[in-house]
Structure 1
Amino acid sequence: MLSGNEKKIINFINYLPFLVFICLLLLIFLIYLHNISTYQKDVNNLKKTFIKQNKEIINSEVNRVYKYIVHEKSNSEERLKESVKNRVNEVHSIITANYNKYKDIETKEQITQRIKDILRNYRYNNKQGYFFINNFDGLNVLHSLNPSLEGTNISNLKDKRGNFTFLDSIKTLKNKNSSFTTVYWGKENDLDNDYKKINYNKVFKPYNWFIGTGEYVVDFEKKLKNKILSYISSLRYSEYGYVFIIDYEGNYLAHIKKNYLGLNRINLVDKNGVEITKETIKTAKNGDGYIQYMGTIKPEPNIASPKTTYTKGFQDWNWAVSSGFYHYELTKKLKLKELELYNKNKKELISLLSISIIFLIVFTLLSLYISRLLKKEFSRYKSEVFKYIENNREKDNLLAQQSKMAAMGEMLQNISHQWRQPLSLISTISTGIKVNKELGLFDEKTLIESMTRINDSTKYLSQTIEDFRDFSNPNKKQIEFDLKKTIKKAISLQEVQFKEEDINLISYLDKIKVFGYENELIQVLLNIINNCKDEFKRSNLEERIIIIELIKKNKKANILIKDNAGGIDESIINRVFEPYFTTKDKSQGTGIGLYMSREIIVKHLEGSISVKNEEFTFNKKEYKGARFKISLDLKN
């Protein structure tokens, strides 16, 4: 005959396939929802990643071009100097060659005229570059641009800023064959303003001349700008990436589209009203930053698309260096992601439904077979289980009785120690009364005092017997008791032996009440304390300490018992609560004390007990020993 629970198990097995099938359907729905949620997260991550990565790309490209411009600008004067130096060296070589060729067959005047004829029409930079020759006495020998200066003394010639250009050249050439000088002159189309010009002069020793030429910095920078802009216009990165430059007036200087070059688009506005060029210039003037607008036309596939642009201002030349990316690529990726999700959901739903149907059929047949098999096995196991439970119950009762008897033996030994002093005191007092009586020294006051002391000792002996009687009482009844008093009661049963064996027991006890079996808790405390005491005997320590703490934490009463005996070997610490496991001699221990302690705490008091090795500080000294922890629930 099957019990009610066994019938429930059989019915559960019969209906289990249908329950699992329903769970699978629920799982399919949850997977679908999860995929939708994952898709939304992927979309958000894709957007963030796309924007972040592309911002990093355009930022990197703009800064790469910006650094290139800065580098070219910073080296422009050095290149200018190198250019004019090469021009002068070239002409100096021509003059030297002519001098060496004709010095022995022509006069100085003839050679001078020959040199002037050669250099007068020797021009460069679209005929803007020219040469001059001066002697060290201040006389101009040649001036290709202004022949009227030839033959005149230019010692006191000043530039636009009042610098003596000839005298400055003489100073720089002192003890040198060549030098650079900086002068400031007006230009052909702007004589009122001064423009910086760098000259290079080189000495021609045979005639005590110096030959020179120069170039305006602004003209050189103009050529440099054209070179830079041409290079930037040809730059490409990724499939459609490019860098473009506009000046602060709104003129396009560099762009992928050649028809934009030179075009002023200061009033360019997108369909949302964003003034694209003005915002770009504003951002560039402030340093750098990102702007977003609707791109007029994406190069491919020729559609309008949102665009994010990073721009950085090059203030020396009033340039806005910019690059951007279109969000059209993100739209394409999102469509691919959506298609991927659809295909993934479709595939998973078909697979799971197929598996669910097959599972339902197989599991139904299997459950029918298992339920029939279980009916037979339940009957056989039932009798075996009852027999096993009965055997275990007898075994546990025997172990409990053995543990109790061992504890009672320890207590009887303690009681015998505790009775010695009061019995000795009673004997001494009674003998004193008798002697005083015989000697005639007896008086009533002494008699009363002696009887009081005998009565106190008798009460102490009676309390000891009462504590032992309470502990040995076989009646198990749950009561509410004060843990602090219970622990003190357990300590008092060992107090005499602590003194005899020089064990210093320290207690820190809160006042906590619990509900349970007080005597069984005392048995556990005595077992643990006795183990501490036995470890001291084996360790031969001079200073012996046991610390007992009672604290309330997280709705639990925690009893902590630790000693300084050095701790338990880590290789066996996990086995100390096993039945019949002991590290003592067979004559000293049975190995059931800590096992029964755990049984009492866990099964009878519904708590927990554990042990570990611990290092601690007491009175500014470091110690190590075992720490037992008993945790009991505080129930209302």
Structure 2
Amino acid sequence: MKVANNKKLLRLIRFIPPILVIAFALSAILIVINNNKIKLDSDLKALRTDFIESRKSMMKAQVEQLIQQINFELKSTEAVLKDNIKAQIYQAHTIASRLYEANKDKSEQYVTNLITSALRDLRFNNGRGYFFIYKTDGESVMHPILPDMEGQNKIALQDVRGNYIVRDMGLLAKENGEAYYTWWFVKPGNTQQEFQKIGFGKHFAPYDWFIGTGEYVIDVENDIKQRVLNEIANIRYGEDGYAFVFNNAGIGLVHVNDEYVGKSILQHPEPDVSKTVLDLIQLAQSGGGFIRYDNFIRPSTSIREPKISFVQGVPNWQWAVGMGFYEDEIAEQLAQREAEIENQNQQQLNELLWLSSISTLFFVVMSLLLTKNLSRRFTDYEGKINHDFQELNRIKLESQYQALHDALTALPNRTLLEEHVHQGVAISKDKGKMLALAFVDLDDFKKINDLHGHSVGDEFLKLLSDVFKRTIDKGDSVARFGGDEFIFCFPELDNLAQAENKVKKILRVFEREFHLKGKSIYSSGSVGVSVYPQDGEDTEALISKADIALYKSKAAKKGQALFFNTALDEQVKRDFLIETELRGAMNKGEIAVHYQPQISVKSGDIIGVEALVRWNSAKLGAVSPADFIPIAENTGIIRELGSYIIYKAMSDIKALNDNLPVPLNVSINISPKQLMESDFVDSVMQASRELGLDSQWVTLEITENVLISDLSVVQPTLEALKNNGFKISLDDFGTGFSSLSYLSNLPLNEIKIDRSFIDKFLSSSHSESLVKTIIAIGEFCHLSVVAEGVETQAQFDLLSEYHCDAVQGYLFYKPLPLSELVEKCRSHQNHTHSVGE
């Protein structure tokens, strides 16, 4: 019994461990196979979902790009029309001019016949366009469409709105050399609607004609529509990808299937096709989106297959524009990738099974040792598979992160910002709360780059971004909008006070000193703030309003915050109107130069004048220099305006001095932008030489604000001007913080006391001391001192007591036009008057 039992025990010891090993090995293999299958199914499902979402995003982006192109074309309709008819008239005018020059010795009737014969049959704009010729007194010289009008006077011809077409167009063309004109007519076949027509005429001086043409805006818009439709019709991607366009009436405008083009699909014999088109149109009208349907034929298979499309509307043209893809097409594209993944998985599984079998046999022989090795191998292979999948997930997450974050600062970028704002508005709207958008721009960030290098500038932006992230509260967000611009989003606010407190926290960030790479950096930031819902209800509107507030904040004073309001909006519109009107003001003769006399305190004589620009706009009326000069500075118009004032002032003072026994000096204010121009000295010298004006009678006035940051650039220019005989005056002396240092560094001849000191120095001992000190400084430095804004006899008497050299102000004269200045100077220099009479 014992031997038998031992044998049984030996058999058990021999066979049970291998059996157990095999059982466990088989169980492990089955588990791995099952887990691998589950993971494979999950990965394939995720791949399919990601692929479809990717295609949907691509479709949406392409449609939105088409809509942007269409909107651009729509907005440019009038500009295209104007450019086209202007080019045609220029060609016609050239033909007429050449015929006239070649035959100017002939009679007017002969030349007229040559010109009308050359132009009468010319057509353009698909045959619609033609040329007409009128004399500016209204007589019709040529009208190809209505030849019976020729020889008649049409000066009283009016459009349907009562505008005098021939009269007004002739006057504009003659006055300006050429001109656009707009009139309104009903078109043949449509007498119920007025259509806008834009014309262009160019004056033909030899015979006092104007050669013109006109075009209906609706016709040009229709041409643009057809061109856009042709371009859309040529869009193809892949084997079955195309774009389609339906109008709101259901008529197919562009479709790969010619059966749908030019017909109302809403009347299609197949009701499901009509319903799909109706759904597409309604979706486009409601703002656009994705739609799935399965009743359209796939071009490559001629079979109805499920399709996903993105559609969006063009309200102005009543179009629905869309693109899509067939689901079976996606399946075909995915099939190859899925097969690759399955093959790769099967190969790994086969390798695993083969190794497991070898290991199992080895375990049978080596028992515990083999068990250990087998466990390690399973662990290794499982780790490898997990590592591969983890790496794929890491790359995916990293790509998603990079697409939504700024590469330098790791802050959210514009795309993610728009998502945050959109979500914040939605949440704030649901909860009946407010949302604030703070647009931050670093002041003078370029100086950091210029002084320390761009690498330090980049590191500063990264450091500042980290500080911003630590500053905001939970639920708030900050994004880098671009360059040195950042946008903060503060949702779920109860009131404006909370927004103001958050903006104050932003500004306090700039109160600290930043240490970077052994350098101390100071910076400031300006902030513009818009608030939902009063300033807008969508991302674009809120960003735009915040940008407007930022612009005004920087213009008023850098380093502060400004909340948007309707007054800002109106000011921006007015600034834009001022800029628009100012660009043509000089050509229209609206810009004038007035002169305020400067009086010698000792003699009471007029010793000079200050040139002051005045603008009387036909559209805006009298515009204050305080309103249009800053706009001219910011837009670059100041260069042309400044050159005009310099030349005009020199010309006037030259004419005035030629008729006076004692010449006068003219003081001209110089813009900072002018001083920065490399050819400024040459242009001033050239004007002086052309006019024959001695430079000693010209004083160029500069203000301290141009000197604060650009002294090294400005100083050589000022020295060159002084070396050429011009005098240099420092205007508004004492209002800056570096006035005294300029006296030793700049080639000055004169300093002017700002009117703010003169206004108060009779009632303020502090202002009186400043005025007295400035006059003493001028005497010590051998500089002339001029006081501005003298309006009372008491002010003049005290300035005289302090030995001020000269004064100007309403006590003596307001700024005068040249004609009045001539009379004042003659009477002043020919007679002796007491001061102030």
Does the aligned pair in 2 maintain the 1:28–1:349 contact within 8 Å?
no
| Cα distance in 2, alignment partners of residues 328 and 303 from structure 1 | 11
Cα displacement (A) at 1:370? 11
Q: Superposition pairs for residues 84-483 of structure 1, below 5 Å?
A: 84-104=85-105, 106-173=106-173, 175-267=175-267, 275-332=275-332, 347=347, 350-367=350-367
Does the aligned pair in 2 maintain the 1:272–1:294 contact within 8 Å?
no
User: Which string of whole-angstrom CA distances, capped at 9 and with x for unpartnered residues, describes residues 404-445 of structure 1?
Assistant: xxxxxxxxxxxxxxxxxxxxxxxxxxxxxxxxxxxxxxxxxx
Judged with a 3 Å threshold, the aligned counterparts in structure 2 of structure 1 residues 348 and 107 are, in CA distance, closer, same or farther, namely closer
| Cα distance in 2, alignment partners of residues 126 and 367 from structure 1 | 94
| Cα distance in 1, alignment partners of residues 367 and 32 from structure 2 | 27
Cα displacement (A) at 1:213? 0.4
Does the aligned pair in 2 maintain the 1:267–1:277 contact within 8 Å?
no
Does the aligned pair in 2 maintain the 1:311–1:322 contact within 8 Å?
yes
Does the aligned pair in 2 maintain the 1:274–1:293 contact within 8 Å?
no
Judged with a 3 Å threshold, the aligned counterparts in structure 2 of structure 1 residues 228 and 342 are, in CA distance, closer, same or farther, namely closer
Does the aligned pair in 1 maintain the 2:138–2:170 contact within 8 Å?
no
- Local SS of the residue matching 2:175: coil
Does the aligned pair in 1 maintain the 2:136–2:171 contact within 8 Å?
no
Cα displacement (A) at 1:350? 4.8
Judged with a 3 Å threshold, the aligned counterparts in structure 2 of structure 1 residues 201 and 23 are, in CA distance, closer, same or farther, namely same
Judged with a 3 Å threshold, the aligned counterparts in structure 2 of structure 1 residues 203 and 365 are, in CA distance, closer, same or farther, namely same
Judged with a 3 Å threshold, the aligned counterparts in structure 2 of structure 1 residues 331 and 268 are, in CA distance, closer, same or farther, namely farther
User: Which string of whole-angstrom CA distances, capped at 9 and with x for unpartnered residues, describes residues 478-512 of structure 1?
Assistant: xxxxxxxxxxxxxxxxxxxxxxxxxxxxxxxxxxx
Q: Superposition pairs for residues 452-601 of structure 1, below 5 Å?
A: none
| Cα distance in 1, alignment partners of residues 264 and 79 from structure 2 | 33
- Local SS of the residue matching 1:266: helix
| Cα distance in 1, alignment partners of residues 201 and 154 from structure 2 | 15
Quick check: 1:20 aligned with 2:21? yes
Residue identity matched to 2:277 = T
| Cα distance in 1, alignment partners of residues 195 and 340 from structure 2 | 66
- Local SS of the residue matching 2:64: helix
- Local SS of the residue matching 1:300: coil
| Cα distance in 1, alignment partners of residues 90 and 264 from structure 2 | 43
Cα displacement (A) at 1:45? 0.9
Judged with a 3 Å threshold, the aligned counterparts in structure 2 of structure 1 residues 77 and 222 are, in CA distance, closer, same or farther, namely same
Give the equivalent residue in structure 1 for 2:82.
Answer: 81
Structure 1 stretches of 5 or more lacking a match? Answer: 1-7, 372-636
The 10-residue stretch of structure 1 (114-123 or 345-354) with the greater mean CA deviation from structure 2: 345-354
Cα displacement (A) at 1:295? 4.0
Judged with a 3 Å threshold, the aligned counterparts in structure 2 of structure 1 residues 13 and 63 are, in CA distance, closer, same or farther, namely farther
| Cα distance in 1, alignment partners of residues 283 and 89 from structure 2 | 45
| Cα distance in 2, alignment partners of residues 44 and 367 from structure 1 | 42
Cα displacement (A) at 1:190? 2.8
| Cα distance in 2, alignment partners of residues 260 and 234 from structure 1 | 16
Residue identity matched to 1:280 = L
User: Which string of whole-angstrom CA distances, capped at 9 and with x for unpartnered residues, describes residues 8-49 of structure 1?
Assistant: 9x9999844433322221122112221231133123313321
Quick check: 1:37 aligned with 2:38? yes
Does the aligned pair in 2 maintain the 1:269–1:275 contact within 8 Å?
no
Residue identity matched to 2:73 = E
Cα displacement (A) at 1:211? 0.7
User: Which string of whole-angstrom CA distances, capped at 9 and with x for unpartnered residues, describes residues 351-399 of structure 1?
Assistant: 444434433332232239999xxxxxxxxxxxxxxxxxxxxxxxxxxxx
Does the aligned pair in 1 maintain the 2:82–2:198 contact within 8 Å?
yes
Cα displacement (A) at 1:113? 2.9
| Cα distance in 1, alignment partners of residues 368 and 32 from structure 2 | 30
| Cα distance in 2, alignment partners of residues 166 and 57 from structure 1 | 53
Give the equivalent residue in structure 2 for 1:70.
Answer: 71
Cα displacement (A) at 1:219? 1.2
| Cα distance in 1, alignment partners of residues 126 and 198 from structure 2 | 18
- Local SS of the residue matching 1:115: helix
User: Which string of whole-angstrom CA distances, capped at 9 and with x for unpartnered residues, describes residues 78-127 of structure 1?
Assistant: 111111112111111121122122221x2212222332333333333344
Does the aligned pair in 1 maintain the 2:266–2:274 contact within 8 Å?
no
Judged with a 3 Å threshold, the aligned counterparts in structure 2 of structure 1 residues 157 and 35 are, in CA distance, closer, same or farther, namely same
- Local SS of the residue matching 2:289: strand
- Local SS of the residue matching 1:184: strand
Cα displacement (A) at 1:346? 5.5
Bigger RCO (CA 8 Å, 6+ sep): 1
- Local SS of the residue matching 1:175: helix
Does the aligned pair in 1 maintain the 2:183–2:197 contact within 8 Å?
yes
- Local SS of the residue matching 1:128: coil
- Local SS of the residue matching 1:275: helix
Judged with a 3 Å threshold, the aligned counterparts in structure 2 of structure 1 residues 150 and 274 are, in CA distance, closer, same or farther, namely closer
| Cα distance in 1, alignment partners of residues 346 and 161 from structure 2 | 83
| Cα distance in 1, alignment partners of residues 90 and 253 from structure 2 | 35
Residue identity matched to 2:124 = Y
Give the equivalent residue in structure 2 for 1:50.
Answer: 51
Does the aligned pair in 1 maintain the 2:267–2:274 contact within 8 Å?
no
- Local SS of the residue matching 2:313: strand
TM-score by length of 1: 0.52
- Local SS of the residue matching 2:56: helix
Does the aligned pair in 2 maintain the 1:59–1:310 contact within 8 Å?
yes
Cα displacement (A) at 1:154? 2.0
Give the equivalent residue in structure 1 for 2:662.
Answer: none
Judged with a 3 Å threshold, the aligned counterparts in structure 2 of structure 1 residues 368 and 26 are, in CA distance, closer, same or farther, namely closer
- Local SS of the residue matching 2:155: coil
| Cα distance in 2, alignment partners of residues 223 and 369 from structure 1 | 85
- Local SS of the residue matching 1:214: strand
Judged with a 3 Å threshold, the aligned counterparts in structure 2 of structure 1 residues 353 and 132 are, in CA distance, closer, same or farther, namely closer
| Cα distance in 2, alignment partners of residues 193 and 278 from structure 1 | 29
Does the aligned pair in 2 maintain the 1:199–1:214 contact within 8 Å?
yes
Residue identity matched to 2:317 = W
Cα displacement (A) at 1:345? 6.7
Residue identity matched to 1:255 = H
User: Which string of whole-angstrom CA distances, capped at 9 and with x for unpartnered residues, describes residues 311-361 of structure 1?
Assistant: 010111111110011100333356557756765676556544443443333
| Cα distance in 2, alignment partners of residues 101 and 192 from structure 1 | 48
Does the aligned pair in 1 maintain the 2:288–2:312 contact within 8 Å?
yes
The 10-residue stretch of structure 1 (353-362 or 218-227) with the greater mean CA deviation from structure 2: 353-362
The 10-residue stretch of structure 1 (34-43 or 285-294) with the greater mean CA deviation from structure 2: 34-43
| Cα distance in 2, alignment partners of residues 343 and 359 from structure 1 | 24
Cα displacement (A) at 1:50? 2.3
Residue identity matched to 2:252 = Y
| Cα distance in 2, alignment partners of residues 271 and 338 from structure 1 | 37
Residue identity matched to 2:32 = I
TM-score by length of 2: 0.40
Q: RMSD over aligned Cα, in angstroms?
A: 3.1
The 10-residue stretch of structure 1 (87-96 or 197-206) with the greater mean CA deviation from structure 2: 87-96
Residue identity matched to 2:148 = S
| Cα distance in 1, alignment partners of residues 78 and 180 from structure 2 | 11
Q: Superposition pairs for residues 598-609 of structure 1, below 5 Å?
A: none
